[in-house]
Amino acid sequence: MKSVGIADSDQIIKQNQPAIGLLTKEIIETKLEVKGIRSLLERRTSKFEGLTEYDQQFINTFAKVAAISFAEYFAQGKTKPVLKQTILHLSAEADLYRDPKSKYCYPMGKELSRHQIIKYLIGKGYQATSDIRMATSAKSDSSVRSAIMKINAKAKHDLKIGKLIEGRRTDGYRINPKYRIFLK
C-alpha cells in the first residue's frame, strides 16, 4: 500500500482487524446470495421452452441484471453504518479520561465502587445488576444503580460525552458501544 501513498498500512490493518473481518464476511454472504438468486432466476427462465433465441437471451440478461439489483438492494439493507467510537482510557489511578487528559478527565480515585463497575463492564455485553453488585464492592442493587447514574452524570460533565453506561430494564447495564475504554 506504500506504493499508492498509504503510510503505516500494517498498523491501519492491525487496528481495524475486527472491522475488516466483518466486512469480508458480509462480502462473502452477499456473493452467496447473488449466486443463489442468479441460479434461481436461471432455473425459472429455463422453463420457458419454445421461445426464440432472442427472447431467451433477453430473459437471461434480465435475470442477471435483476439478480444483481436484488443483491445490491438487500446488501444495502444489511449494512450498518460504521459506528465511530470515542476512545477513553481508565488509568490505574482510577482516572477515566479522553485526550487531551488535561481537559477531559474524570478522577474516580475516591469512588472505588464506580471504578470497579466500569472496569467490570469493559468488553462485556449487558450485565445484570446483581452480577455487577457481586463483582464489585457495592452493597446492594440500588447502590449499583445509583453509582451508574453518578458515573453517567460525571462523565457527561467532566468528559463532555453522552451516556457512558447504558441500561435496559430486563438485561442490565453495559458500556455504550459509542465508547471504547482501554485500561492503562
Residue-wise pLDDT tens digits, 153-175: 999 999 999 999 999 988 899 99
What proportion of the chain, given as a percentage, has pLDDT over 90? 36
The residue-averaged pLDDT of 174-180 equals: 93
Can you give the residue ranges of every domain in the chain?
Answer: 9-78, 86-183
Q: Give the residues across from 127 on adjacent strands.
A: 173
What is the CATH number assigned to the segment(s) 86-183? Answer: 1.10.10.10
C-alpha cell of 138? 457495592
Kindly tell me if the per-residue pLDDT of 5 is higher than 70. no
The count of other CB atoms within 10 Å of the CB of residue 160 is 10
- Grid cell listed for 26: 458480509
Model confidence at 24, in pLDDT bands (50, 70, 90)? confident
| Residue 131 in this model has a pLDDT that exceeds 90 | yes
Whether pLDDT at 80 is above 60: no
Q: Is the pLDDT of residue 54 over 70?
A: no
**Cell numbers linked to 123:** 468488553
Residue 112 has pLDDT above 90, yes or no: no
Predicted pLDDT of residue 98: 92
Strands 172-175 and 95-98: unpaired
Instruction: Measure the CA–CA gap between 157 and 137, rounded to whole angstroms.
Output: 25
User: To the nearest whole percent, how much of the chain has pLDDT over 70?
Assistant: 83
Reduced 3-state DSSP string for the chain: CHHHCCCCHHHHHHHCHHHHHHHHHHHHHHHHHHHHHHHHHHHHHCCCCCCCHHHHHHHHHHHHHHHHHHHHHHHHHHCCCCCCCEEEEECCCCEEEECCCCCEEEECCCCHHHHHHHHHHCCCCCECHHHHHHHCCCCCHHHHHHHHHHHHHHHHHHHCCCCCEEEECCCEEEECCCEEEEEC
C-beta neighbour count of 98 within 10 angstroms: 20
Through-space distance between the first and last CA atoms of the chain, rounded to whole angstroms: 31
Q: How far apart are CA 104 and CA 130, in angstroms?
A: 31
